[in-house]
Amino acid sequence: MNVMAEKRTRAPEFPEHLTWFNVDSPICLDKQQGRVILLHFGSYCSIHCQHVIAELTHLENKYRQDLIVIGIHGPRFPGELPDAHVQKAINRNHIRHPVINDPGLQLSRHYGVRGIPTTVLIDTDGFIVGAVTGDGKRNQLDKLIGRLLFRAEKPATDHTRSYALKFMPEPARPLLFPGKILATDKHVFIADSGHNRILMTSPQGHVLHQFGNNNAGFVDGNGTGAAFNNPQGMAFADEYLYVADSGNHAIRRLHIHSNDVVTIAGTGTMQAIPITAYSANPLRVNLNSPSGLAIKGNELFIAMTGSHQIWFLSLVTNTLQLFAGSGREDLVDGASGKAAFAQPSALAILGNTLYVADADSSAIRAVDLHTRHVSTVVGKGLRHYGNKDGSGTVARFQYPLDIQADQQHRQLWIADTYNSKIRKIDASNHLVSSMSLKHRLNEPAGLAFNGDTLYIANTNHHEIIRINLRNGTSTSLHVDDENNGL
């Protein structure tokens, strides 16, 4: 725990002009005395801040009336500034506590917060006790909360809060925040992430199978007898669909005919530090929010978003090992072990190159499959982002979450998420261009390319868009929920 001051400092009240979410009225700290308060400073695009949300949910459930959690969203990208974005992020991450949008980082300055995620502790008398930085600190926070409540001079005998929770749920739709998608000649696979399931549909959208029971969980089984938690990237080979089960820190394998779901890597527990070892038993390895997959031959490549690395799983020897990335969050090119990524979120293979959508650096990276040398196709660093076409050295993205390869035309399709655009990169000269669409996109997070059709997960609008690349026409994929009770 980092002590913020040698003497006790009263927590400053919140400015009146900031927007609140999940409550019926702004919260006054002075009226909450008798309870421990946790202020979670973070940006919801950060994988580490997303981890903290899950940790805080556990603490909220444990301490209930004796603990108040308040999220303070400090945007890192321009796309995170609007209140509408924050509301979507709250619903996508299933946040049930009050949240403040702090676009100018005013509260961060008031509380002396310099990095995210940071959790500030306020005792039952309204004084700042200290701060905990980073994720994976649930047990430490648990002990501190228990200690503060035990020593409380003013216990919360009156459990009536000065505010009421008030949520703004998403409209009822067949899909809820669909993430990654994958298309073959016969099927479209949709990671219906908000519903914690995988849908297998026909190219016209008729649901053929559902994997997962809509509730977050970590259960192997058959069809809806299985459970996922925020499934994302997928890869397909030999009648098996491989899924990056991000919220469970695991890799799952689905058989599309028997509907069986089995775990092939991960324990369900997050690895808090970068992975550096080779493992002959992937089921005993703690992974860290895998989000993207790509397959070549018998090797399954994994974008390990939480540890900022690329791993690969041999489907022949059943071994798991590091492919590229030191684990440091940065944009650094070079040899495999010294290179650095920043939340790699999706993978695509074109020829002998593995391309990476490196979300937090707003970059597209390339890894030579033979030498494992890492280079940058588009992007400059963690603080460089934008919305600009042109050559790879001048083009800019803003938090791209997916990438797909067009083998025939040797080009890459990018879901430029916070610019709400689809971009294209010519693999031969790295020229970047933007796609013109009639559909209005809202933070697209998934793409699938097959033949002359491009599928787009229009994530915040809860829909899949189908683009005919020959004539430019676009239609929404009607997901048929007739037999699935969606």
Domain with residue 229: its CATH number is 2.120.10.30
Q: State both tokens at 333.
A: 């090119």
128 in a domain, yes or no? yes
In a domain, 160, yes or no: no
Cα–Cα distance between 456 and 470 in angstroms, integer? 16
Question: Which residues fall within 8 angstroms of residue 235, CB to CB, at 6 or more apart?
Answer: 182, 241, 242, 293, 294, 295, 300
414 and 283, same domain (yes or no): yes
Residues 423, 434: contact at Cβ < 8 Å? yes
Q: Is 166 inside a domain boundary?
A: no
167 occurs within a structural domain: no
Distance CA 318, CA 208 (A): 30
Q: In this structure, are 112 and 209 located in the same domain?
A: no
DSSP 3-state assignment of 4?
coil
CATH of the domain at 59: 3.40.30.10
C-alpha span between 281 and 42 (Å, rounded): 35
Can you tell me the distance from the alpha carbon of 123 to that of 455, in angstroms, rounded to the nearest whole number?
50
Q: Same domain for 90 and 187?
A: no
Strand order in the sheet with 402-406: 402-406, 411-416, 421-426, 432-434
pLDDT the model gives residue 486: 40
* Count of all residues that appear for the chain in the document: 486
Residue with tokens 């005998």: 157
Is there a single domain that holds both residue 217 and residue 116?
Answer: no
Strands (DSSP E) found in 177-329: 181-183, 188-192, 197-201, 207-211, 221-222, 231-237, 240-245, 250-255, 260-265, 290-296, 299-304, 309-314, 320-324
One-letter amino acid at 86 equals V
When divided into structural domains, the chain yields a total of 2
Find tokens 């421990």 and name the residue: 36
Name the domain boundary from 150, 170, 195.
150
Helix (H/G/I), strand (E/B), else coil: 427: coil
What does DSSP assign to residue 390? Answer: B
Residues 144 and 256 in one domain: no
What is the chain's Cα-based Rg? 23
Q: Are 335 and 323 in contact (CB under 8 A)?
A: no
Rounded-to-integer distance, Cα 132 and Cα 400, Å: 29
In this structure, are 209 and 350 located in the same domain? yes
The pLDDT score that the predictor gives to residue 158 is 56
Instruction: Please tell me whether residues 382 and 237 are part of one structural domain.
Output: yes
350 shares its domain with 425: yes
What residue spans of 74-116 are helical by DSSP H?
A: 83-92, 106-110
pLDDT value for 56: 96
The crossing angle, in degrees rounded to 10, of helices 47-63 and 138-150 is 40
Q: Is residue 387 part of a domain?
A: yes
Identify whether 238 is part of a domain: yes
Tell me, yes or no, whether 343 and 395 share the same domain. yes
Angstrom CA distances, 191 to 194, 235, 345, 484, stand at 9, 12, 14, 16
d(CA 361, CA 345): 11
pLDDT (tens digit, 0 to 9) for every residue of the chain, 486 residues total?
454 444 678 999 999 999 999 999 999 998 988 999 999 999 999 999 999 999 999 999 999 889 999 999 999 999 999 999 999 999 999 999 999 999 999 999 999 999 999 999 999 999 999 999 999 999 999 999 999 998 886 555 555 567 899 999 999 999 999 999 999 999 999 999 999 999 999 999 999 999 999 999 999 999 999 999 999 999 999 999 999 999 999 999 999 999 999 999 999 999 877 777 789 999 999 999 999 999 999 999 999 999 999 999 999 999 999 999 999 999 999 999 999 999 999 999 999 999 999 999 999 999 999 999 999 999 999 999 999 999 999 999 999 999 999 998 899 999 999 999 999 999 999 999 999 998 999 999 999 999 899 999 999 999 999 999 998 899 999 998 654 434
Answer yes or no: are the C-beta atoms of 325 and 308 closer than 8 Å.
yes
Domain range for 388: 181-476
**Separation of first and last alpha carbons in the chain:** 45
98 and 224 co-located in one domain: no
Mapped onto helix, strand or coil, the DSSP state of residue 301 is: strand
pLDDT at 484: 42
Helix (H) or strand (E) holding 74, with range, is: none
Q: Is 213 left (phi over 0), alpha (psi -120 to 50) or beta?
A: alpha
Q: Which two tokens stand for residue 179?
A: 């993430």
Omega of the bond leading into 117 within 30 degrees of 0 (cis): yes
Q: Which of 131, 150, 169 is the C-terminal boundary of a domain?
A: 150
Residues 123 and 198 in one domain: no
CB 129 within 8 A of CB 122: yes
Q: What's the pLDDT score for residue 483?
A: 41
Which of 132, 150, 168 lies at the terminal end of a domain, its last residue?
A: 150
Whether 483 is in a domain gets the answer no
Quick check: 306 and 269 in contact, CB under 8 A?
no
Domain annotation covers residue 161 = no
What's the confidence (pLDDT) of residue 157?
Answer: 52
Same domain, 131 and 277: no
The dihedral built from the CA positions of residue 271, 62, 161 and 153, taken in this order, carries a sign that is: negative
